[in-house]
Structures are given as structure tokens and as C-alpha cells.
């Protein structure tokens, strides 16, 4: 074989080798191309996970929409309840006073104004436009066993069931209502304008500023009943000549305020006003006006010295038992009082002395009340009360002793149980055991 032939064979071999090599490389390339196809399957498989996540997200969004729907339903229910509340109490943005007056139609034994708000637990207020309305109330019921003149009696009594509304129309203007559902009588309704803490003008029916005890809410008086001397002198009860059911309230115009404010509290409080003199829910009956005033001095935080007076003319609802005037006559009715009140961690003590003149019949009375704090909730109560309707006649004197306990369930909610001994110079001696349940809101 020639050299040329060998060369040709080598070329062919190289060509064959080259072809085989290229075929091998093409096969490898085909395998490699197969791998991307296999690998492409992974993204498709992996694409399934975003789909699941999207489904979960859609489910969460659906749950969120359901929750928002429930919230909208609750907000709608709240709006409907607020609407019913506004309709129930008859209050609108600019009809606050009139509508509240239609709701509340009468009221109880309470104080001349700021004392009422002080007695009650802190309550949320209803906002009506720029006005604020607070509703408060309390109830007192009792069970008494009494023995007098050889006879025994027992009775359950609803003493008071009071609803109060305090409307703050602006910073200066306010309105107050008190209604007693147990008697169906309006006790207080007045408007007040505050020029400053030192000067407020009050117009309407409210408690006359005479004696400290008569101005206290019954919820804060440890006696189940008022002292007889205070009830008589203040025209609350026990004076048939002045009238029954007057409860120490009257129509009038009064100036009141706090003076000498130091360290955030006043040292002096005053009240002075002009009143009809006819009593609660009564029309003027003699064209005469009573001048009534009170001055309180508080030198220390929990100590008060007080003085008050009534200078007036009343129309006799019954003839004088001392032949001083006849029924229907106008007679002079003057009153004066001095007293003190002190509180500390161990004891609350209050005492007042009073003098009166009813058409020439001069009376006097005094009381002393003490509350000993045995524990944080339990108090021991002791009280002495003396009244003499005519200082010239010993038979008109009455001595009252009270002893008992009071247990505070919660703030102004308590149970009182007391023994009461009444010794009348002209009348039967009586002994009573009285238990009272009180709840306030």
C-alpha cells in the first residue's frame, strides 16, 4: 500500500473518529438537553406551592372580611342601643333640659347642690353634643319592729327610691333634677350659672341652706332617720304648723360659692338666698319671702365649723299648739344654728345646736353623732338627739338615743341596724329596732 493510500486511510480514520466524537458529543448534548427538561419539571412542581399560599391568603382575607362584617354588625347594634337610649331618656343635642324634665318627674332628701355629686360613685357620662349628662340614684328600704304603749308593730318600708340627673350644658351652665319614685314627687329642679367658683347663681327648687345635717345626702347619714331636732327646725318633718311633706325644700334664688381657695381646697363656703317660704312643690301663699343663709369655715382639711339662719314668715297650716296663732294666719318663723364636723381615721363626729321662734313660741334642740370605724367596712354608730318645741314648757321635750352598726358592702351600698329609744315627756316611750338596706349607683 502506497504512502498516499495510508494517508487516505488515516484521514478516513480521523474522519470516522471525528464523526464518532461528534456523535458522542451530540449524545451528551442530548442528555444535557434532557436534564433541563427534567429540571423544568421542578419549577412546575414548585409553582404549585405559590398556588397553595395564594389559597391560604384568600382564606385569611375571607376571614378578615367576615370579622369586619361582624364588627359592622356590632357597631350597628351599638348605634341602635344608643338611639334607644337617647329616645328612652328623651334627650337630643339641643333638647337636653326639656326632654330630661319629661323623663324625671320628681326627687328626695338631698343637699343644696354640690353635695349630691360628691356622694355618688364616679360614673361615666353621656355626651350629647357639647352637653354632658350623668344619671345617679339610690334606694333605701327598711324593716322596723317598734314597741310603744304596750303594743308592738313591725313593718317593711320603702323609704326612698331616688333618681338624679346632672346636666352640664356648658362649663358655666348646669341643670339638676331629683325625683322620688317611692312618693311620686319632684324634689329638686334648678338651673345654675357659675360665673366663677366664688360666685354661682341658682334658680329653682332645692334644699334650703340650713344646718349641716339637712344638707347631707341620706346615704351619708349614719342615722336611719334624721334627727328629730333637725327635721323640726329645718321644716323637713314634725311641724304641722309649717306643713306636712315640705322636706326642707323651696323655690328660690340663691348665691353660693367657695372662697379663699388654698392648696386646692376652699377655706370658706357661703350660701344666701331668697325663698318663697311655702315649702316643696307649693305655690307662694302669703307674698312674703324668707331670707336663708349659711356660712361654713374649713380651717383644716376634714374639719368644718358652720352657722346658718332662716328669717321668714310662714302661713299656718294648723293652729299653734301654744295658742300663738290660728290656722291660716301668717306668723314669724325664724331659725338659727351653729355646728361643727370633724373626720379622721378613727372617728367621724358632727354636732349642731338650733334655736327657733314660731310666732312667739321659742324652741331649741341639739344633737351629737359619732361613727367609730371598727374596720375598713364596719362602723359603730352612736347618736343623741334633743328637741324642746317650747322652752317654757318641759312637757314638749323629747330625748332620742340611737346605737347600732353599719356595714359597707361597696362604696355607698351598706346595711344599717340600730336600736332607737325615744323618751317623750308628754307621750309614750317607744323602743325600736330598725334595719336598713341601702344601694346606690
> What digits encode the pLDDT tens for the residues 80-100?
666 555 554 443 443 433 333
The CATH number that applies at residue 396 is 2.40.160.10
Tell me the average pLDDT of the chain. Answer: 83
pLDDT digits (tens, 9 = 90+) for 383-399: 999 999 999 999 999 99
> Is residue 332 predicted with pLDDT exceeding 90?
yes
How many structural domains are present in the chain? 1
> Is residue 246 predicted with pLDDT exceeding 50?
yes
pLDDT cut 70: percent of the chain above it = 77
Residue 183 lies in a domain: no
Grade residue 50 by pLDDT with cuts at 50, 70 and 90.
Answer: low
Range of the domain at 434: 139-160+199-440
How is residue 94 written as a grid cell?
339641643
Residue 101 lies in a domain: no
- Evaluate whether 379 touches 222 at the Cβ level (below 8 Å): yes
Mean pLDDT of 404-418: 95
Residue 415 lies in a domain: yes
- Taking each helix axis as running N to C, give the angle between helix 96-103 and helix 3-89, from 0 to 180 degrees, rounded to the nearest 10: 60
Q: What is the pTM of this model?
A: 0.73
Grade residue 112 by pLDDT with cuts at 50, 70 and 90.
Answer: very low
Which position has the higher pLDDT, 294 or 42?
294
Which position has the higher pLDDT, 21 or 54?
54
> Is residue 30 predicted with pLDDT exceeding 80?
no
Residue 132 lies in a domain: no
> Is residue 46 predicted with pLDDT exceeding 60?
no
- Evaluate whether 289 touches 268 at the Cβ level (below 8 Å): no
Residue 337 lies in a domain: yes
Residue 18 lies in a domain: no
Residue 64 lies in a domain: no
- Evaluate whether 72 touches 62 at the Cβ level (below 8 Å): no
Whole-angstrom Cα distance, residue 377 to residue 155?
27
Residue 338 lies in a domain: yes
Query: Which residues make Cβ contacts (< 8 Å) with residue 261, sequence separation at least 6?
Result: 197, 267
Amino acid at each position: 500500500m502506497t504512502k498516499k493510500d495510508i494517508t487516505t486511510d488515516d484521514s478516513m480514520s480521523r474522519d470516522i473518529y471525528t464523526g464518532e466524537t461528534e456523535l458522542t458529543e451530540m449524545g451528551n448534548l442530548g442528555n444535557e438537553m434532557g436534564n433541563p427538561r427534567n429540571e423544568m419539571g421542578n419549577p412546575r412542581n414548585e409553582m404549585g406551592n405559590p398556588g397553595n399560599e395564594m389559597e391560604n391568603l384568600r382564606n385569611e382575607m375571607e376571614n378578615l372580611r367576615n370579622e369586619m362584617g361582624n364588627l359592622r354588625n356590632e357597631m350597628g347594634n351599638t348605634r341602635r342601643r344608643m338611639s334607644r337610649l337617647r329616645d328612652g331618656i328623651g334627650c337630643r343635642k339641643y333638647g337636653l333640659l326639656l326632654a330630661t324634665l319629661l323623663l324625671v318627674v320628681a326627687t328626695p332628701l338631698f343637699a343644696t347642690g354640690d353635695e349630691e355629686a360628691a356622694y355618688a360613685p364616679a360614673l361615666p357620662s353621656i355626651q350629647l353634643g357639647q352637653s354632658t349628662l350623668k344619671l345617679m340614684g339610690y334606694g333605701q328600704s327598711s324593716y322596723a319592729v317598734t314597741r310603744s304603749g304596750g303594743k308592738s308593730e313591725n313593718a317593711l318600708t320603702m323609704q326612698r327610691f331616688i333618681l338624679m340627673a346632672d346636666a352640664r350644658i356648658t362649663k358655666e351652665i348646669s341643670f339638676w333634677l331629683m325625683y322620688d319614685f317611692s312618693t311620686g314627687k319632684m324634689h329638686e329642679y334648678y338651673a345654675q350659672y357659675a360665673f366663677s367658683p366664688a360666685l354661682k347663681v341658682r334658680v329653682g327648687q332645692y334644699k334650703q341652706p340650713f344646718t349641716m345635717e339637712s344638707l347631707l345626702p341620706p346615704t351619708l347619714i349614719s342615722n336611719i332617720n334624721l334627727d328629730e331636732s333637725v327635721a323640726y327646725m329645718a321644716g323637713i318633718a314634725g311641724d304641722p304648723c309649717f306643713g306636712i311633706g315640705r322636706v326642707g325644700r323651696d323655690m328660690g334664688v340663691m348665691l353660693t360659692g367657695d372662697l379663699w381657695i388654698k392648696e386646692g381646697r376652699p377655706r370658706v363656703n357661703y350660701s344666701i338666698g331668697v325663698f318663697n317660704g311655702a315649702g316643696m312643690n307649693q305655690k307662694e301663699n302669703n307674698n312674703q319671702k324668707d331670707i336663708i343663709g349659711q356660712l361654713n369655715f374649713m380651717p383644716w382639711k376634714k374639719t368644718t365649723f358652720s352657722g346658718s339662719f332662716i328669717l321668714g314668715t310662714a302661713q299656718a297650716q294648723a293652729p299653734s299648739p301654744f295658742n300663738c296663732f290660728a290656722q291660716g294666719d301668717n306668723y314669724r318663723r325664724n331659725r338659727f344654728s351653729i355646728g361643727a364636723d370633724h373626720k379622721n381615721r378613727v372617728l367621724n363626729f358632727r354636732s349642731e345646736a338650733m334655736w327657733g321662734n314660731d310666732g312667739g313660741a321659742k324652741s331649741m334642740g341639739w344633737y351629737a353623732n359619732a361613727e367609730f370605724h371598727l374596720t375598713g367596712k364596719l362602723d359603730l354608730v352612736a347618736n343623741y338627739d334633743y328637741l324642746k318645741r317650747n322652752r317654757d314648757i318641759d312637757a314638749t321635750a323629747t330625748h332620742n338615743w340611737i346605737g347600732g352598726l353599719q356595714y359597707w358592702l361597696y362604696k355607698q351600698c351598706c346595711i344599717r341596724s340600730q336600736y332607737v329609744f325615744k323618751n317623750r315627756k308628754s307621750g309614750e316611750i317607744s323602743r325600736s329596732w330598725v334595719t336598713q338596706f341601702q344601694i346606690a349607683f
